[in-house]
Amino acid sequence: MADTLVDTAVEDCKERMARAVEHTKNEFAGIRTGRAAPALVEKLKVEYYGADVPLQQLAGLHVPEARVLVITPYDKGPAVIKAIEKAVQSSDLGITPSNDGTVIRLNFPVLTAERRKELVKVAHQKAEDGRVAVRNVRRATRKDLEGLEKDGDISSDELDRAEKDLDKLTHDYTAEIDRVLAHKEQELLTS
């Protein structure tokens, strides 16, 4: 029974760490690389009739050219277009939208060397947030396992083995974040 408690805790830890890594990857997708991509704006919150709604629920997003992103609102009312424009302008994209009354175009300029360095710093911060999330999962799981040992549900040997497993998982998932960060950094500096 003790083995199943430990295995269950470690398996739950693995799932939560994987979610933290996935979240970090999604955060990286929102960092612009000089090319237009729907991921840059799809999560932007747009005030739509008093509620904050993700842009992807209000409009279709497509990339007709490498540096142009077209946002086509499902609701053709001028209030929606203004709300989307406002959300884009207040975002950290640094792009001024242009609209022709039916669609909004975002023209992505070529990134300057200074802006690339700023974006690399943003990527490093998001990676650190991901690593912290992974370590927090390890800490919470370790605390749960120590509680099981204190209650007599598992032995100290089982706790030691589980802690070694947790350390290996933590190392593996932080290494995955570092690998994704290196890829994103390369993409930012060369695109």
CATH number of the domain encompassing residue 132 = 1.10.132.20
Please name which of 97, 111, 135 lies closest in space to residue 21, comparing C-alpha atoms.
135
Q: Which residues pair with 61 in a beta bridge?
A: 71
- Which of 107, 130, 157 marks a domain boundary? 107
Q: Looking at the structure, do residues 47 and 14 belong to the same domain, yes or no?
A: no
Q: What is the model's pLDDT at position 2?
A: 55
Q: Looking at the structure, do residues 131 and 95 belong to the same domain, yes or no?
A: no
With 80 as the cut, is the pLDDT of residue 185 above it? yes
With 90 as the cut, is the pLDDT of residue 173 above it? yes
When pLDDT is averaged across residues 68-94 and rounded to a whole number, the result is 85
Q: Looking at the structure, do residues 97 and 149 belong to the same domain, yes or no?
A: no
Q: Which strands make up the sheet holding 59-65, listed edge to edge?
A: 59-65, 68-73, 104-107, 98-99
Residues 176, 186: Cα–Cα separation, whole Å: 15
Q: Which two tokens stand for residue 53?
A: 């709604």
pLDDT per residue over 110-120, tens digit each?
A: 778 887 888 88
The mean pLDDT of the chain is 87
Domain count, the chain: 2
Q: Looking at the structure, do residues 25 and 57 belong to the same domain, yes or no?
A: no
pLDDT per residue over 128-165, tens digit each?
A: 999 999 999 999 999 999 998 888 888 888 889 999 99
Residues 114, 111: Cα–Cα separation, whole Å: 8
Q: Looking at the structure, do residues 21 and 45 belong to the same domain, yes or no?
A: no
* Alpha helices by DSSP H, 53-155: 55-58, 78-90, 113-150
Range of the domain at 83: 38-107
With 70 as the cut, is the pLDDT of residue 74 above it? yes
Q: Indicate which CATH number applies to the domain containing 91.
A: 3.30.1360.40
When pLDDT is averaged across residues 40-57 and rounded to a whole number, the result is 86
Residue 26 — pLDDT band, cuts 50, 70, 90?
A: confident
Q: What is the model's pLDDT at position 163?
A: 92
Q: What is the model's pLDDT at position 33?
A: 67
Q: What is the model's pLDDT at position 1?
A: 52
Q: Looking at the structure, do residues 102 and 145 belong to the same domain, yes or no?
A: no
With 60 as the cut, is the pLDDT of residue 105 above it? yes
Q: Is residue 103 a contact partner of residue 64, using CB atoms and an 8 Å limit?
A: no
- Which of 73, 107, 141 marks a domain boundary? 107
> Distance of CA 45 to CAs 88, 108, 163, 180, Å?
9, 20, 40, 26
Q: Looking at the structure, do residues 11 and 44 belong to the same domain, yes or no?
A: no
- pTM to 2 decimals? 0.70
DSSP E strands: which ranges in the chain?
Answer: 45-48, 51-54, 59-65, 68-73, 98-99, 104-107
